Amino acid sequence: MPPQPVVVRHETPPIIRTLDIGAKVGLLLLLALAITHPDLGNMRDKAAGLRAVAYPLLSFTIPIVWFLFWRHRSSFPWLADLFVTITCFTDILGNRMDLYDTIVWFDDWMHFMNTGLLTAAFVLLTLPRTATFGATLERSLSFGVTAALAWEIAEYYAFLSSHSERTGAYRDTLGDMGLGALGAVVAAVVIHAMWQRGRLLHTAPQLESRERPLEPTG
């Protein structure tokens, strides 16, 4: 009988799982509030409907893909999934708390942080832990700059193209994209440094298997 792969699974710290599930529940609750009471959620004229569709799709993409393709080969990538969910949750929470309109630097921080978190998730999911820093940086910039550009385009067509302040709304577009790129660079530096120190080695699906023959039966 041919040898069978042995899948190595690693336990994720409970705090990561708790934060991930809590962020998903919080996201759905805040989106429901934004749809039913847009003024209360500070989401009027801010594409609440589009966010209500896009954010759940984004935050549940990894669980769906894992269930369909990875569940028999690897443990669930809780940390990468948390990074993706946090980007959606913090954007809705920031609007709910009216931070975008009351804190001057909050929007800049969100572009930097959320692009960095998404980039970190992408790197964890797609690169081996033995990747060089050059490869990690290249992958991070490729994803991060593309994600920052996609966000600016989506944001414009979602609501700013018809907003009363559209004439001046994109004076800082290049700044937002620059902050996104910087977030991607920081993600590359942090992730690679932690890999070098032996951390984050089992935070995403890996085909960590070795061949061994089946035990004889009967």
Full pLDDT tens readout for the chain, 218 residues: 445 544 445 567 899 999 999 999 999 999 888 888 777 666 666 667 778 888 999 999 999 999 998 888 888 999 999 999 999 999 999 988 889 889 999 999 999 999 999 999 999 999 988 999 999 999 999 999 999 998 888 777 765 555 555 555 556 678 888 999 999 999 999 999 999 998 887 665 554 444 444 444 33
The pLDDT value recorded for residue 52 is: 83
The pLDDT value recorded for residue 170 is: 56
Q: Give the integer Cα–Cα distance in Å for 29 and 213.
A: 49
Q: Give the integer Cα–Cα distance in Å for 63 and 122.
A: 14
Taking the alpha carbons of 40, 41, 44, 48 in that order, is the dihedral positive or negative?
negative
Q: Give the integer Cα–Cα distance in Å for 207 and 6.
A: 9
* Residues counted in the chain: 218
Spatial contact of 149 and 115, defined as CB atoms under 8 Å apart = no
The pLDDT value recorded for residue 154 is: 78
Nearest alpha carbon to residue 72 among 21, 14, 9: 9
